[in-house]
Amino acid sequence: MSLEGRPILVALTGGIACYKTATVVSRLTQAGAHVRVVMTEAATRFITPLTLQSLSGRPVLTSIWEHDDHPDSQHVGLARWCDLMLIAPASANTLARLAHGFADDLVCLTAAALPRDTPLAVAPAMNADMWANPVVQENLDKVKRALGAHAIGPEVGWQACRTSGAGRMSEPEAIVEAVAGVLGAADQRG
């Protein structure tokens, strides 16, 4: 499936895996997608908005109070603009917030405003013990059921906590491939 001309919103939440999302943004942009980026405040502690702006070629938003040139509320405009929203990394905190309807950061607020026919994809990333927590699994299941989210990964591998286990965010190439697959499936349904 071609990503040429497809509007894709990439959302980052707090986690060391943010460094991989820079490559995801770069690969999507190189494939011809029109990429916009939003970040939680926690994500900005791992990677700067300037890095992602340089890779996407578009301003990066980090607050519900920021605006660009859209006349709509920023989160509503972005939700209506995109063909798909990808949250990568999707932290345990963000999965909980999505599962329970919290919308007080730009990422969750925008996800809450997504039209029901716009796909949401999440790429979980966290420590293996966090990933194994039944509450985290329950939250992911609820996000998949209630919001129709597509989970990409996580994988088993080396983690920032210097152990190996499940919870490592999928590699950028696998995420880009999954995004293309989700968009292709949505096109066939629509």
* CA distance linking residue 87 with residue 121, whole number of Å: 6
Q: Which two tokens stand for residue 125?
A: 């990333």
* Active site (annotated) includes residue 108: no
User: Please, are residues 56 and 25 in contact by the beta-carbon 8 Å criterion?
Assistant: yes
- Give the list of residues 6+ apart from residue 72 with CB closer than 8 angstroms, or none: 80
User: How many angstroms from the chain centroid is the CA of residue 8?
Assistant: 10
Among 18, 82, 108, 161, the active-site one is: 161
User: How many angstroms from the chain centroid is the CA of residue 69?
Assistant: 22
Catalytic residues: 161
